[in-house]
Amino acid sequence: MDTTLDDPLVGRVLDGRYRIDARIAAGGMATVYRALDTRLDRVLALKIMHPALAAEPGFVERFIREAKSVARLAHPNVVAVFDQGAEGPYVYLAMEYVSGCTLRDVLRERGALQPRAALDILEPVLAALGAAHRAGFVHRDMKPENVLIGDDGRVKVADFGLVRSVDTVTSTTGAVLGTVSYLAPEQIENGTADTRADVYACGVVLYEMLTGGKPHSGGTPAQVLYRHLNEDVPAPSAAVPGLPAALDGLVATATARSPEGRPEDAVALLGLARGARAGLTDAELDAVPPQARAGERSSAEDRTGVIPRPMGVPAHNPHHTSRLEMPPVPPAAPAAPAPAASRLRAPRRGVLLALAGVLLALGLGAGVWYISSGQFTQVPPVLGKTEQQARDRLKEAGLGVKGVDRRFSSTFERGTVMDSDPAPGQQVRGNGSVTLVVSRGPEIVSVPGVKGKPLEAARAELTKAGLAPGMVTQAFSADVPQGSVISTDPAAGQKRAPDTAVALVVSKGRPVPVPSTVGMPTDQARSVLEGLGLKVETAAEQVHSLQPAGRVANQSVAAGTQAAAGDTVTLTVSKGPRQVPVPDVRGRNVDDARKTLEAAGFQVKVDRPFLSFSDTVDAQSVPGGSAAPEGSTITIRTKGL
């Protein structure tokens, strides 16, 4: 029977917020569900740790580390983590949801890809891993199942649940460290992995995209692991004649058996990949590959527990344009027979122990995965498709449409499928029918009237109406109390989609004209300003000024401007003018004497006796060499007859 149909969590609202709608993937550590964030009306993926593991603090700590690690990787090609929490035995991560498929789905359907398509997928994957590597993390589980391709072609890396700090060494036998086909030799042999283990896995993934099959096959996982330890990854052109030598070299460099022979991290490999692309012609990039070795895709290590549904949501990546429009491919070639176990040399004792640990951790060969016997038909991916496209895909899968339910949604465009029952990835007995849930587009919200309401009350009312309180600015108002809303943008009564931001203009109260208090005694100035409803503070330090000591020398709000009731005006008190040395200007020309005194900080008055025609200074009111208050007036006198 299909265990996903009876999942007890489907239909439940977790943590009072996340409505679980469908189970879309299952792994050894957690199960992934498609869910709805009822608070934000957003479809997302909910990764819930298996309750048995949640009882162990070590696993919970690891699960929480995933949230913190990915939250640090703000990169458009990494599936983002929105939230992390727990309710009872359920510990969860809330992540982006991708409407599309995994690279594994593409390889199963298409087989080998054109070089351009392979590089268009590889480059954003390396960009995502490069961000992780430079942030100090290793993914450790790179494989096609963890490469998500949105319906619009955007590429994201998912499932950083196995990340470790770059300088952390762990044992292979202590945790699930990835599907065996993508493990680097050092992971198998001694359980260590750094950024170059991710580089190795990406090289294997590139080989698989170029050829349609894995580089090392085997009847058992142990055989595959042995070959990774003892055989180089072959050149892709050996399986697909005509592939450019540059791609052979790229795969060989990434999959060198010795870590020292590989690029140091994904950033370095990305540079090599872009260099290889630049050296290829359009004809080489767009060559349609024969489906060589496609039969190897059914080898032992391919049987995973992931229900073919993606998780995460596509995010705009301005640096990547994916080209996944591939022409139809001819039928796959027959699979080459896997080498018999008896032909393999016995590996060393240490390697045997490591292999046993990996096999135990992965649960391979234990019969834990459900394999459909043909009684069920899997619902194909239809989310984000138009209603007609969804009907066509269901028809191709041999399924009918039971009915159409139309609902409002701010996530899915009008006329596109936002859900189905059963959900994509679930299975229907025989040739059953599916109910499609089609978006009616965003529900229109009327902006409520909040004029005159206190700011917090207005924000609460906007939120209750399904809108988002936006930017707040202030303005004077003679009729709206201080702290209350004057107006909104959009205005009250206008129609908007849910979660639209509404800007608020809040009253500063009636305007208060600020008078000049410079020169007033401090107490008098304070009385005047407080009488207008303003607050008054006195600066800690006094300053020299032309004002007498104890009077106001300056005020923080200029005279003639407007303030709001309750605004603060700071007064600076004068400690009197400074005493400045007086220059001796006797015997000088009147104009020169004036300039000298003014430059010293004094005012100048010229006294000419009756019938005096002299321009020479004969006397000055303050003797030269003495001191006088800065800004005071000094009188100079010319000679008389």
pLDDT digits (tens, 9 = 90+) for 238-295: 999 999 999 999 999 999 999 999 999 999 999 999 999 999 999 999 998 765 444 3
pLDDT at residue 483 greater than cutoff 60: yes
The pLDDT confidence band at residue 614, using thresholds 50, 70 and 90, is: confident
Q: Which CATH architecture has domain 579-638?
A: 2-Layer Sandwich (3.30)
User: Would you state the pLDDT for residue 151?
Assistant: 79
Note if the pTM is more than 0.75.
no
| Angle at which helices 195-211 and 245-254 cross, to 10° | 150
- Of 59-68, 70-79, 123-132, 319-328, the range with the lowest mean pLDDT is 319-328
590, 616 Cβ separation under 8 angstroms? yes
- Between 17 and 346, residue with greater pLDDT: 17
User: Would you state the pLDDT for residue 325?
Assistant: 35
Containing 242, the helix (H) or strand (E) segment is none
Is there a catalytic annotation at residue 584? Answer: no
Which candidate, 179, 93, 104, places its Cα nearest to that of 425?
Answer: 104
Q: Where are the alpha helices (DSSP H) in 263-401?
A: 266-278, 282-285, 349-362, 387-396
Task: Return the structure tokens found at 527.
Answer: 């009385």
Q: Is 531 exposed, middle or buried (0-12, 13-18, 19+ CB in 10 A)?
A: exposed
CATH (one of 1.10.510.10, 3.40.50.11740, 3.30.950.10, 1.10.3720.10) for 3-330: 1.10.510.10
**Cβ-based neighbours of 423, under 8 Å, separated by 6 or more:** 21, 22, 23, 24, 34, 309, 379
Q: Where are the alpha helices (DSSP H) in 279-377?
A: 282-285, 349-362
Tens of pLDDT, residue by residue over 486-535, are 999 999 999 888 778 899 999 999 899 999 999 999 999 999 999 999 99
User: Would you state the pLDDT for residue 58?
Assistant: 67
Instruction: Say which DSSP state 267 is in.
Output: H
Instruction: State the chain's mean pLDDT as an integer.
Output: 80
CA-angle at 595, arms to 589 and 598, nearest 5° = 135
- Of 4-13, 352-361, 504-513, 545-554, the range with the lowest mean pLDDT is 352-361
CA-angle at 40, arms to 34 and 46, nearest 5° = 25
Fold agreement between 376-439 and 511-573:
yes
Locate the domains of the chain by residue range.
3-330, 376-439, 445-507, 511-573, 579-638
The pLDDT confidence band at residue 57, using thresholds 50, 70 and 90, is: low
User: Would you state the pLDDT for residue 261?
Assistant: 94
Tens of pLDDT, residue by residue over 388-412, are 999 999 998 889 999 999 888 766 7
Portion of the chain with pLDDT greater than 70, in percent: 80
pLDDT at residue 301 greater than cutoff 60: no
pLDDT at residue 163 greater than cutoff 80: no
Tens of pLDDT, residue by residue over 435-462, are 999 988 777 888 999 999 999 999 999 9
- CATH 3.30.10.20 for the 511-573 domain, yes or no: yes
**Cβ-based neighbours of 163, under 8 Å, separated by 6 or more:** 65, 66, 69, 70, 132, 137, 138, 139, 140
pLDDT at residue 166 greater than cutoff 80: no
CATH (one of 3.40.190.10, 1.20.1090.10, 3.30.10.20, 3.20.20.70) for 445-507: 3.30.10.20
Tens of pLDDT, residue by residue over 304-349, are 322 233 333 333 333 333 333 333 333 333 333 333 332 234 344 4
CATH (one of 3.30.420.40, 3.30.465.10, 3.30.10.20, 3.30.110.30) for 376-439: 3.30.10.20
**Which residue is catalytic, options 105, 141, 151, 159?**
141
- Of 79-88, 245-254, 350-359, 538-547, the range with the lowest mean pLDDT is 350-359
**C-alpha 17: how far from chain center:** 22
The pLDDT confidence band at residue 71, using thresholds 50, 70 and 90, is: confident
